Chain A
Amino acid sequence: MKRNRFEMEILKHRLLVDPNYANNTWKILEHAIMDILTNHKLGTLSFENLYRHAYEMVLHNFGEKLYSGIVTTMTSHLSGISKLIEDAQEEFFLEELNQRWADHNKALQMILNILMYMEIAFIPRTHKTPILELGFNLWRDIVMPRTRLRDTLLELVYRERNGEVINRELMRNIIKMLKDLGSSVYDEDFEQPFLEVSADFYSLNSSLSLIENMALLDMIVNDKYEDLGMQYNLFRRVPAGLSIVRDVLNLYIWDTGKQLVADLERLKDPVNFVQCLLDLKDKFDKNISLEFNNDNTFQNALNSSFEYFINLKPSSPEFISLFVDDKLRKGLKGLSEDGVEVLLDRVMMLFRYLQKKDMFEMYYSLHLANRLSSGKTISIGDERSLIDKLKTECRCQFTSKLEGMLIDMKTSQDTSVGGED
Chain B
Amino acid sequence: MESLPIEVIGSILSRLAAARDVVVASATCRKWLEARRKHLRSLSFSVGDWSGYRDYGSSQAGIWITQTIFQTAGLESLSLQLDDVDEELSASAVVAWLLYTRETLRSLRYNVRTIGDVNILEICGRQKLENLVLSHNSISGVEPNYYRFAGLKSLSLSHVSISALDLSLLVSTCPKLEKLDLISPVIAMSDAQVTVEVSSATLRHFYIEATSLDKFVLEADSIESLHLKSCSLELFELIGKGTLKHFKIDDVSVLHLDIGDAVDNLDTVDVRDFTITSPKFFQMISKSAKLRRLRLWDLMFDDEDEIVEIETIALCFPQLSHLSLSCDLRDEVLLYGLHGCFHFENVVVLELGWTFLNDLFSDWVKLMLKCCPNLKKLIINGVVSDLKTHEERQLLANFTLAIVCVMREYVNIEVVFVYK
Instruction: State yes or no: do A and B come from one complex.
Output: no
Please report A residues at the B interface, Cβ cutoff 8 Å. none
